[in-house]
Amino acid sequence: MSAGTAVAPPDAITAALWWRDNADAAPETALRKAEEMLSDTGDAELRVLARHIAALAAVERGRVGLARRHARLGLAAARRTGQPQRAAQLLLTLAWIELERGATSASWAHLVAAEPQLPAADVARAACLRGLLHCQGDQHREARAELSRALRSLSADGDRRWIANALLGRGLANLYTNRLAAAEADLAAAEEGFASDGRNARAAACRHNRGCVAFRAGDLPRALRLFEEAVDAGLDVKSNPEALVDRAEALAAAGLTSEARTTMEHAASRLRSCGRTGRLAETRLALAGCALRDGDVAVAAAADGARQLFRVQRRPAWAALATAITWQAKLRGGQCSRYSLGAARRAAAACEEFGWIGPAAELRLTAARCAAQAGMRTLSRKLLALCIPLRDEVAASAQHRALSWLAEALLADQDGDLDRLFEACRGGLRAVDSQAADMAAFELRVHTFGLAGELGDTAVGAALRAGDPRLVLRWTERSRCSALHRRALRPPTDPGLNSALVRLRAAVVQARCSHDPKQALATIAALEEQVRHRAMLVDGRTSGLQVPTGIDDVIAELGDSVLLSLFAHGGRLFAVSIVDGDVRLHVLGPEANAETHAARLRHLLARQAVGTAPRAAPTFEMAARRAADELQAQLLAPVLPVLERGRSLIVIPTGRLHVLPWAALPACRGRSVTVSPSLRCWLRGASDARAADRTGAHVWVAGPGLEHAEREVQGLHAIEGGRLLIGADATSERVMSTVDGAATVHIAAHGRFRDDQPLLSCVDLVDGPLYAYDLDRLHRGPTTVVLSACDVGRSAVSRGDQLSGLATTLLGRGTATVVASVVPVPDERTAGVMVSLHRALREGRPPAAALAEAQTEHGESGFVCLGYGGDR
């Protein structure tokens, strides 16, 4: 016998077998051991085992191309040297590798070829792999049955590693058939099995898949937390890029579509580089779904390419989902022919058959609306009726139950049954609200309530047709600013979030003196993303605002003040006014007209604030007056005669009118005007103001780099007393601890509003910016906050009049009134306005009246009184 075929000592074979069975626990080390064996030995069996170890280690690291090459070389060597059982075991591994690649036909072929020669110990493993192949081929019922049989055999053999594999596979089969409780149980057991066996990466993958179960159930906060915990536990997203896609889909469902699309594109690139092209179809489909949420129907139509890939891969369930998304995009893009509606109807039925109950209902709802617009009333009613049973599905998420209620409301609308329509809208809003109950993160709540706007709009349309102003007002309020109508039971704190905020502040300060501005900005952007990411992971529950919200309660609180509640429907602007208990409905004309004049007025005031050439100043002033006159004629006409008699005004804006500087309108100059996100927020502010500690501290804060800031707060502190934080004392943590629960807080600092990421809006302090994310950690917001900083009174407005920003965050944490600017204000006038404001407050005027007096005295109009604005 030649040296090349000499038999290795038994201990070398035993060691190689141990590494083969444990390659997935330490893949990098196993790969090095395999390379050592290949270079040091000429024993045929040991070389085959080394190839097998290398293949298993490489597939664990996501390098399926390398894994496939090692397995094939090992298989050829085993056949050449007469090792049939080793060859069969390598065929079983090749079947696993092809499954990872998405090549199910090749995987089946290897499995069938392996089974006749497999050792008895591997027969149950082959059955497990057969079940996983059924799952990959969307044959989930067969997968559950096969995996359950395999589990019985594996349990009898005590094969812990493959028991965990089988539980993982059965958990995924249960997930795709909406057996969510069973899926969670199987995946949790698999995670425990892998962890007890030292296979931490596999255990982490199970935790990630439990996040997918939470996502399918509609529990976004839990899904995001489990995804994060999986990465912390050892899930390598570089080797498993599909994990990035799952997280991105959760972000898209939370409304963060831009971040989601970026993540998905990165995952697609990683999948290509890892050779896992079989998973690219899922990523392309996820990208199409994300584009559809973003309103990009052209990109969403690319789902058709994913559908073709799924068909090639013989994955009918995923092909059905891709078809549904394709038709959803086509219908939204205007393809509403009879053929298109018929195809969409068939696609929805196929989608539902394979367990995609939510996407099926979404497609039916879209098709029903298109059919109604095309005059095909019978088809529309049939499609809507098919959506309604979804609300009774145990596996349906809160959002999909709300969608089902919306379908019921639309069907009732077609029947002219207002009582049933309103009841359906109430049911839908309850479903959305139930989902928000577990969302301590404000940003998630804002996007969750997007569907509430659609339900509310349906009810408002019906109320308008009924012509009852009280009914209209009730329904505009039910859906408006719902994220602000819940408050976290405890501040959403998280050590990771706090640490990220500290690092972000430090990076902003360092960037001011950086020699590499481009790198500094990149660092800040990365840290901002970390802050936003960590903020969505906070745990906790919220409670609804416990304040009276009936119209009679509003009338009682108003007294002799005037209420004007604005809302838009069908492109037109409406208002409900309350004057001396009389509730009236008004039509105010095109919404676009008001928004155009409001944007023009804000632009002109901003230009005047930064300074204009002396010759151009009269032109800007005249244009601003003209825009203000136009706005007043459209918005205030219903209550103008009453306002001229000196009444105070409470206004609930809508859309872009939330950032209107109301004091610039002629009838509002010198008048007490309070701007509130909703009537419920206004009533809550009244309750908070009365419940506030009247002996609470006054806090005066000055930020760096603003010439008048320290003089302003020192002068006010000298008169009012309280706590003074200036210079090195004005750090973020000190300010946060001091203002928590204070009576009045005044911050004079540079401020910035971020329209792209409103919770990163901030005021500058000595150690860096104080963000809205920081303020959301307050136990109780100060009763009154004055922000002597430009633009920070603005809010970003999303669907359903959901607001987010610095001032909005304070209102959400219990602050009754915020005084802040919605346009740039010249520094030289700001200090004077602030001194006059506090003098009026000291003399007993309510905040809204005090602000009106101060702005009139100094010829200013950029500040607004947000929230309650009244006296205690």
pLDDT digits (tens, 9 = 90+) for 41-87: 678 899 999 999 999 998 888 788 899 999 999 999 999 999 999 99
Query: What is the reported pLDDT for 589?
Result: 94
Range of 442-451, 467-476, 479-488 with top mean pLDDT: 467-476
The model's pTM is 0.83
Are 699 and 738 a contacting pair, CB within 8 Å? yes
CA distances from 359 to 283, 355, 397, 483 (A): 17, 9, 12, 25
In tens, the pLDDT along 654-712 reads 999 999 999 999 999 999 999 999 999 999 999 888 887 666 789 999 999 888 889 99
CA-wise closest residue to 285 among 322, 246, 311: 322
Query: What is the reported pLDDT for 8?
Result: 47
Structural element, H or E, at residue 776: none
In tens, the pLDDT along 178-230 reads 899 999 999 999 999 999 988 888 899 999 999 999 998 888 889 999 999 99
In tens, the pLDDT along 260-274 reads 888 888 888 888 877
SS (H, E, C) 467-498: CCHHHHHHHHHHHCCHHHHEEECCCCCCHHHH
Provide mean pLDDT across the span 563-591.
Answer: 96
Split at pLDDT 50, 70, 90, the class of 457 is: very high
Mean pLDDT of the chain: 89
State the helix-helix crossing angle for 418-436 and 450-466, rounded to 10 degrees: 160
SS (H, E, C) 517-558: HHHHHHHHHHHHHHHHHHHCCCCCCEEECCCCCCHHHHHHHH
Rounded to whole angstroms, the Cα distance separating 226 from 188 reads 12
Query: What is the reported pLDDT for 818?
Result: 97
Provide mean pLDDT across the span 387-416.
Answer: 90
| Among 11-20, 472-481, 545-554, the least confident range | 545-554
Query: What is the reported pLDDT for 265?
Result: 87
Query: What is the reported pLDDT for 3?
Result: 37
Residue 782 has pLDDT above 50, yes or no: yes
Provide mean pLDDT across the span 104-126.
Answer: 90
Residue 614 has pLDDT above 80, yes or no: no
Residue 541 has pLDDT above 90, yes or no: no
Query: What is the reported pLDDT for 490?
Result: 67
Query: What is the reported pLDDT for 562?
Result: 96
In tens, the pLDDT along 709-750 reads 899 999 999 999 999 999 999 999 999 999 998 999 999 999
Query: What is the reported pLDDT for 2?
Result: 35
CA-wise closest residue to 251 among 213, 300, 209, 286: 286
Residue 564 has pLDDT above 70, yes or no: yes
Split at pLDDT 50, 70, 90, the class of 377 is: very high
Split at pLDDT 50, 70, 90, the class of 652 is: very high
Query: What is the reported pLDDT for 4?
Result: 37
Give the three-state DSSP class for 837: helix
Split at pLDDT 50, 70, 90, the class of 292 is: confident
CA-wise closest residue to 62 among 36, 104, 31: 31
Rounded to whole angstroms, the Cα distance separating 101 from 372 reads 44
Provide mean pLDDT across the span 802-825.
Answer: 92
Query: What is the reported pLDDT for 628?
Result: 94
